[in-house]
Amino acid sequence: MSKIHVTTKINGEETEYLCQPYDTMLDVLRNQLNLTGSKEVCSSGDCGACSVTLNNRLVCSCLMLAAEAEGKEINTIEGMTKNGNFHILQKKFLEHAALQCGICTPGMLVAAKSLLDKNPSPTETEIRFWLAGNLCRCTGYDKIVRAVQAASDEMKEKA
């Protein structure tokens, strides 16, 4: 089987890689590009730990073939920190203790950022529905929801 050559943009940087037709985007991110922030947990689109954005659309990178990234833009958790500074969401997750084991956290952050980019003032219900595809076994979700609300408030103040 010949490998597929893919040219794409990941976290704003032009990136090239070779992949097999069955490789998922998550396989390539973690195993070839050393972007191990996106986690592999369920591999079936239920848990959201592998969340990334594809042309600004929130998707599970385990349910996307790496070959599909050709000509597209991917953003991962690694792109969230700018010049060494945490994103407001990351700060609020720490302040609100919105994580324990941390496995779900990258996916939660990517999903939460995608929500706030689309809807800067989500209601609690909207936050809970949006994050329904991100499973967390530690926090009970409440602290995560509070952290997203706090980030939303602070981002609005700064805007």
Partner 1 sequence: MIQGTFLTPNTIDEAVKFFSSSEGSVKLLAGGTDLLVQIRNGFTKPDKIIDIKNIRELQEIIDNGNGSFTVGAAVSGASLAEHNKFGKNWPGVLEALRLIGSEQIQGRASLGGNLCNASPAGDSVPALIASGALAKVHGPNGIRSIPVEKINLGPGKTNLQKGEIVTQFDFPDREPSSSDSYLRMIPRTEMDIAVVGCAVNISMDGDKCIDARIALGAVAPTALLVDQAAKIIIGSKLEDDVLNEAAKACQNACKPIDDKRGTITYRKKVSGVLFKRAIQIAKERALKV
Q: Does 116 bind partner 1 (CB under 8 A)?
A: no
Alpha carbons 98 and 79: distance in angstroms, whole number: 20
Nearest distance from residue 12's CB to partner 1, in Å?
Answer: 20
Residues 71-110 that bind partner 1 (CB under 8 A): none
Q: Does 117 bind partner 1 (CB under 8 A)?
A: no
Interface pick for partner 1 out of 35, 88, 103, 111 (rule CB under 8 A) = 111
Eight-class DSSP state of 80: T
β-sheet bridge partners, residue 19: 4
Alpha carbons 110 and 144: distance in angstroms, whole number: 13
Alpha carbons 30 and 37: distance in angstroms, whole number: 8
Nearest distance from residue 85's CB to partner 1, in Å?
Answer: 27
Determine which helix (DSSP H) or strand (DSSP E) holds 14, and give its type and residue range. strand 13-19
Alpha carbons 22 and 64: distance in angstroms, whole number: 10
Q: Which stretch binds partner 1 (CB under 8 A): 29-37, 77-85, 93-101, 131-139?
A: 131-139
Contact footprint for partner 1 (CB under 8 A): 1-2, 4, 21-22, 24, 43-46, 48, 51, 54, 57-60, 62-65, 67-68, 70, 111, 114-115, 129-130, 132-134
